[in-house]
């Protein structure tokens, strides 16, 4: 029996190790397969450390195999992120269940809403459109629409506004018609977006902030020792603003019509971005362009997608491969099982799959620009085996 976990591990910390440990307890699974984001993440920014380093941390702390979530899904909104991960998990053919963190701590609370959100009856769709037309973000409009449609107090649905709950709901929707059983572990310590270290278990954001402030020693206690050691070797952290010159080059050499094809660039955002850019850094552009409806995170994702060349069409397509980033030696049979049962090509060698991995190769080369690392790193790093 195998259980999948979808994660960024940005960076890997003791909360992640706890999640893996608790998942083994509640599912009774033999193997944990982590479906992990690559070098860019959902917040619309570069990952704290490269994907191979993060895959190694996962394998050292309970994961048996790490599979890459392709960049077009990993850098997307919750629904596309979850759908891409779910399609990978289903295509693997060896996962019996999925485990995810949530503030709710149980799946029943989501099951009550599944049929409405999956089937979208006309009354619900009418309410959703009404609130979207008022300029609300999608998660907030959905909460209002459900409140109106079900005739229950808006505040009773506040759990839908919490980040891990949002993803939990999307995982369950994406896997609704599959045989994969959902489990959830309650996130009851540090909040997902808490910027402050809180002892043994802190958020990834808090750890990143401590390192960015030049105080990596503060973050060590929140990470397993075998991962905390990577803090000693960090010479420079990539920042989204490091890619500002690339963005400006693209904005100045690409038509507005072409930009409009980019993922997360909707309803004339390309024109607003072009008019507001004015040579500013990406973080400043995002602040200037955001609106009530289009959040800072959505704008950041759109700007990142311009840089990476990710289109709406690419996001809507189903995955075409399964790439293994790493596996434990004592779980190597899992790789053989995956190769035998997967519904998609299984990739362990970049040179043999350059066309399928073109987006990842390009994304890694772009990720490494501010770090001064020559292009071609995807070819030089093999699959991690521990």
Domain boundaries, the chain: 2-104+178-191+222-237+318-385, 108-161, 240-314
Please give the Cα distance from 217 to 331 (Å, whole number). Answer: 33
Evaluate the omega torsion of the peptide bond into residue 11 and state whether it is cis, within 30 degrees of 0: yes
| Residue 195 pLDDT | 67
pLDDT of amino acid 23: 97
Q: What is the full DSSP assignment across 138-171?
A: HHHHHHHHHHHHHT--GGGGGGGGSHHHHHHHHH
Q: Alpha helix (H) ranges present in the chain? A: 14-27, 51-60, 71-74, 78-92, 108-119, 122-133, 138-150, 163-174, 204-212, 216-219, 225-228, 244-253, 256-259, 269-277, 282-289, 296-308, 312-316, 332-341, 358-367, 377-380
274 near 285, Cβ under 8 Å? no
Q: Splitting the chain (386 residues) into consecutive groups of 10 residues, what average pLDDT does each group show?
A: 97 95 97 98 96 97 98 96 98 98 90 90 96 88 95 92 92 94 82 68 88 84 90 84 97 96 94 92 95 87 98 97 98 97 97 96 98 96 95
Q: How far apart (Å, rounded) are the C-alpha atoms in residues 384 and 386?
A: 7
Q: Comparing C-alpha atoms, which of 229, 43, 220, 240 is closest to residue 210? A: 220
Give the strand pairing for 97-102 and 45-46: unpaired
> What sign for the dihedral angle of Cα 142, 145, 147, 150?
negative
Q: What is the pLDDT of residue 216?
A: 82
**According to the model, what pLDDT value does residue 139 have?**
85
The reported pLDDT for the residue numbered 218 is 84
Domain 2-104+178-191+222-237+318-385 architecture: 3-Layer(aba) Sandwich (3.40)
| 3-state secondary structure at position 256 | helix
Confidence (pLDDT) at 85:
98
Q: Cβ distance 28 to 183 under 8 Å?
A: no
CA 278 to each of CA 4, 283, 294: distance values in angstroms, whole numbers, following the listed order? 44, 13, 20
What 3-state DSSP class applies to 265? Answer: coil
Q: Which whole-number Å values give the CA distances from 288 to 69, 209, 304, in the listed order?
A: 30, 23, 16
pLDDT at 31: 98
| Residue of 160, 159, 174, 193 lying closest to 80 (CA atoms) | 174
């Amino acid at each position: 029996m195998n259980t999948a976990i979808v994660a960024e591990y940005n960076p890997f910390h003791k909360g992640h190790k706890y999640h893996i440990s608790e998942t083994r307890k509640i599912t009774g699974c033999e193997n944990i397969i982590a479906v992990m984001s690559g070098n860019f993440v959902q917040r619309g920014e570069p990952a704290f450390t490269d994907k191979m380093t993060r895959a190694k941390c996962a394998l050292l702390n309970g994961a048996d195999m790490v599979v890459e979530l392709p960049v077009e899904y990993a850098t997307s909104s919750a629904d596309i992120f979850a759908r891409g991960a779910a399609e990978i998990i289903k295509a693997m053919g060896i996962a019996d269940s999925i485990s995810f963190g949530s503030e709710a701590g149980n799946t029943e609370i989501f099951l009550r809403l599944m049929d409405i959100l999956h089937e979208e009856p006309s009354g619900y769709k009418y309410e959703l459109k009404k609130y979207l037309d008022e300029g609300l973000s999608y998660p907030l409009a959905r909460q209002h629409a459900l409140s109106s449609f079900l005739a229950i107090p808006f505040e009773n649905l506040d759990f839908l506004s919490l980040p891990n709950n949002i993803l939990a709901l999307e995982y369950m929707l994406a896997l609704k018609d599959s045989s994969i059983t959902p489990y959830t572990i309650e996130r009851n310590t540090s909040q997902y977006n808490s910027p402050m270290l809180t002892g043994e278990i802190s958020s990834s954001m808090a750890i990143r902030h401590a390192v960015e402030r030049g105080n990596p020693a503060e973050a060590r206690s929140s990470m397993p020792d075998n991962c905390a050691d990577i803090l000693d070797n960090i010479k420079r952290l990539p920042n989204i603003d490091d890619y500002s010159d690339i963005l400006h080059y693209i904005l100045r050499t690409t038509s507005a019509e072409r930009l409009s094809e980019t993922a997360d660039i909707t309803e004339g955002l390309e024109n607003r971005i072009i008019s507001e850019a004015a040579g500013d850094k990406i973080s400043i552009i995002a602040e200037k362009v955001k609106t009530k409806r289009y959040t800072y995170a959505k704008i950041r994702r759109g700007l990142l997608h311009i840089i990476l060349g990710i289109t709406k069409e690419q996001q809507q397509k189903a995955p075409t491969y399964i790439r293994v980033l790493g596996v434990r030696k004592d779980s190597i049979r899992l790789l053989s099982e995956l190769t035998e049962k997967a519904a998609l090509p299984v990739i362990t060698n970049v040179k043999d799959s350059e066309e399928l991995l073109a987006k990842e190769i390009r994304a890694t080369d772009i990720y490494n620009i501010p770090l001064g690392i020559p292009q071609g790193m995807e070819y030089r790093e093999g699959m991690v085996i521990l």
